[in-house]
Amino acid sequence: MSPFERKFGKYAIRNLSFVLVLCYAVGYVLQLAGGGGLVLSYLTLNPYAILHGQIWRLVTWVLIPPSSGGLFFTLLMLYFYCSLGTSLERTWGTYRYNVYLFQGMLFTIAGSFLLMGYCYLFKPEISMLGAALTIDTPHEYFTVIAMVFSTYYINMSIFLAFAALCAVILNQTRAGRYILCLGSNQEAVRLSGVNVKKWKMLAYVICGTLVGIAAIFFVAAYTTVQPGYGDQYNNEAIA
């Protein structure tokens, strides 16, 4: 246990993923309510507005929900966020998981202010409805794009962290080494006294589950699929 964890560990928020999902739920309710878009526009991470006194935006932007692909996929996505986040919290510990997520939030805030500086210097264009619009002031620019800033990308990093955890399990645990060896030389594994059928079935179950989860998120993002869509990802999966 590090000195920082001994000192600040007692302030760590338990079940932080569940807390974020509740924040999303509040954001969705505001979005669906009458005039919800106007209400959310006062909660977004808008650095220009923050520098002009609206400091509550430093906190309330966590209520901005990710774009939804329908009620079913939204609920499913939030369930997986909560489930994977809880698994990581149990593995890392509450304190480290809090540090991981809050660092992501702080970097998002810092990135928004850096983007405002870029806007001041270069006056970038925004493409809306196929037309490029030149924004003259940071206020106009961030009024347009402030809804982009949400904890969506932080939550997506949970999947990356979970993938890293799976890599550690595959390379540093007995079960992981069994599965890797099965892919290299199944007969040698069998002669070593390992139950090949058991571990092969486990590998298929894990891979099938992860493919199913990926397919659900793919459908949620693109809203349409074809039977051959998975073929284009064969090389990436093998690599």
| Residue 134 host element (H or E) | strand 131-134
- d(CA 32, CA 30) in angstroms, rounded, equals 6
Q: Using a cut of 0.75, tell me whether the model's pTM lies above it.
A: no
- d(CA 185, CA 171) in angstroms, rounded, equals 16
- d(CA 90, CA 185) in angstroms, rounded, equals 34
Query: What's the N-to-C CA distance of the chain in angstroms?
Result: 36
Q: What pLDDT, on the 0 to 100 scale, is given for residue 56? A: 92
Tokens of 54: 């609206």
Q: What pLDDT, on the 0 to 100 scale, is given for residue 30? A: 83
| Residue 191 host element (H or E) | helix 186-191
As a whole number, mean pLDDT of residues 76-83 equals: 79
125: confidence class by pLDDT, cuts 50, 70, 90: low
As a whole number, mean pLDDT of residues 134-139 equals: 58
The answer to whether 151 and 62 have CB atoms below 8 angstroms apart is yes
Q: What pLDDT, on the 0 to 100 scale, is given for residue 128? A: 47
Whether 235 has a pLDDT exceeding 70, the answer reads no
As a whole number, mean pLDDT of residues 100-126 equals: 79
- d(CA 179, CA 194) in angstroms, rounded, equals 11
Which tens digit of pLDDT belongs to each residue from 90-109? 888 899 889 988 988 888 88
129: confidence class by pLDDT, cuts 50, 70, 90: very low
As a whole number, mean pLDDT of residues 133-153 equals: 65
Backbone φ and ψ for 44, nearest 5 degrees, come out as -70, 165
144 or 102, which is more confident: 102
Q: What pLDDT, on the 0 to 100 scale, is given for residue 141? A: 66
Whether 221 has a pLDDT exceeding 50, the answer reads yes
Angle at 75 between CA 69 and CA 81, to 5 degrees: 100
Q: What pLDDT, on the 0 to 100 scale, is given for residue 10? A: 84
